């Protein structure tokens, strides 16, 4: 394992840019604003609607819930009043474009769901422009490791590499999904083409149960793919890709992996992924990163 200083520079957004909408699970109306941040700042969320405008750091130590999405809480305290729900699509967009530093202001507790994918955030960031900072980009190249998640057949394999790629497989016992796999490098070009447009999905029989749990309050056929017994329900009436389901899971994985706080030089193979397992994987990689930092002379 090692930290690699690359030839490229760290990046942030060139100008402020906002996106408005409703949160997928809370149904809260929200304006999200991307703001430039200096080198080595990382990514922070600021709840501008709360007293004191609390700051929440986008790292795995601040994750306090992984139920149908990844939630951050102030100080990593699950009982904290300041939370930001369902951060994975926003973080995935940042990871996909190779952005390192950002201040993200929100006036509610959940980013807009947009169309259920990360592409609207990609569009917003591209229109604002990206700016290089006067500091080199650093990458973490972890040692090989395996992580088995419970008894569900979930498996992750992390291997050191000269670049960043994912190999994701899902397997649902449903005729419209079944077993799907996606292998792709994670670069701005491949991310936009292969990941960014894939939308979140659920099964129609889950909808009422989700709402009883206080979830999916903002969900609709405009921002999710709902899978029925023999048909797909959504605004477009068709899938954007034949394998849109695995592409969305890969998009989520890239977003959750961003919580490491440093871009990877690794190949991540993942079977039967989910937010809880993704975050546990990030925490295991973070242990390697901290050990690497501790053993590296200042």
pTM over 0.85: yes
The total of other beta-carbon atoms located within 10 Å of residue 296's CB is 9
Handedness of CA 268, 196, 90, 29 (dihedral sign): negative
Distance (Å, whole) CA 262 – CA 277: 19
Say if residues 62 and 72 touch (Cβ distance below 8 Å). yes
The predicted structure's pLDDT at residue 298: 53
Start-to-end CA span in the chain (Å): 17
Mean pLDDT by 10 residues, the chain (298 residues): 94 98 94 98 97 96 93 91 96 98 97 96 97 97 92 91 98 94 97 96 85 82 90 88 97 98 98 94 96 81
Tokens 């969900």, located at residue: 219
Cα–Cα–Cα angle for 161, 131, 97, rounded to 5 degrees: 40
Domains of the chain: 2-138 (3.30.230.20)
pLDDT, tens digit, 9 for 90 and up, residues 21-32: 999 989 999 999
Q: Which helix (H) or strand (E) holds 184?
A: strand 178-185
Active-site amino acid positions: 275
Q: Please name the residues in contact with 225: beta carbons below 8 A apart, sequence gap of 6 or more.
A: 116, 199, 200, 201, 202, 232, 233, 234, 239, 244, 245
The predicted structure's pLDDT at residue 47: 97
The predicted structure's pLDDT at residue 297: 64
Distance (Å, whole) CA 74 – CA 220: 29
Distance (Å, whole) CA 131 – CA 249: 29
């Amino acid at each position: 394992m090692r930290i690699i200083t690359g030839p490229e520079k760290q990046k942030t957004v060139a100008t402020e840019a906002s996106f408005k909408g409703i949160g997928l699970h809370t149904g809260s109306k929200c304006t999200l604003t991307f703001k430039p941040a200096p080198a080595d700042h990382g990514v922070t969320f600021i709840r501008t609607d709360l007293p004191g405008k609390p700051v929440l750091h986008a790292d795995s130590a601040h994750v306090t819930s992984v139920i149908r999405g990844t939630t951050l809480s102030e100080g990593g305290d699950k009982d904290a009043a300041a939370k930001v729900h369902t951060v994975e699509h926003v973080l995935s967009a940042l990871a996909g474009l190779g952005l390192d530093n950002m201040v993200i202001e929100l006036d509610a507790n959940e980013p807009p769901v947009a169309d259920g994918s990360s592409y609207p955030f990609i569009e917003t960031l591209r229109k604002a422009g990206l700016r290089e900072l006067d500091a080199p980009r650093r990458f973490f190249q972890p040692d090989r490791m395996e992580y088995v998640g419970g008894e569900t057949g979930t498996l992750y394999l992390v291997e050191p590499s000269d670049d960043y790629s994912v190999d994701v497989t899902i397997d649902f016992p449903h005729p419209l999904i079944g077993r799907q796999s996606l292998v792709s490098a994670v670069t701005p070009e491949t991310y936009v083409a292969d990941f960014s447009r894939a939308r979140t999905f659920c099964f129609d029989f889950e909808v009422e149960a989700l709402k009883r749990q206080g979830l999916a309050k903002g969900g609709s056929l405009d921002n999710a793919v709902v899978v029925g017994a023999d048909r797909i329900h959504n605004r477009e009436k068709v899938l954007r890709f034949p394998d849109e389901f695995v592409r969305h899971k890969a998009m989520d994985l890239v977003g959750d992996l961003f919580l490491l706080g440093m871009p990877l030089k690794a190949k991540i193979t993942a079977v039967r992924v989910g937010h809880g397992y993704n975050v546990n994987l990030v925490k295991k990689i973070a242990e390697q990163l901290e050990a690497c930092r501790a053993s590296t002379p200042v």
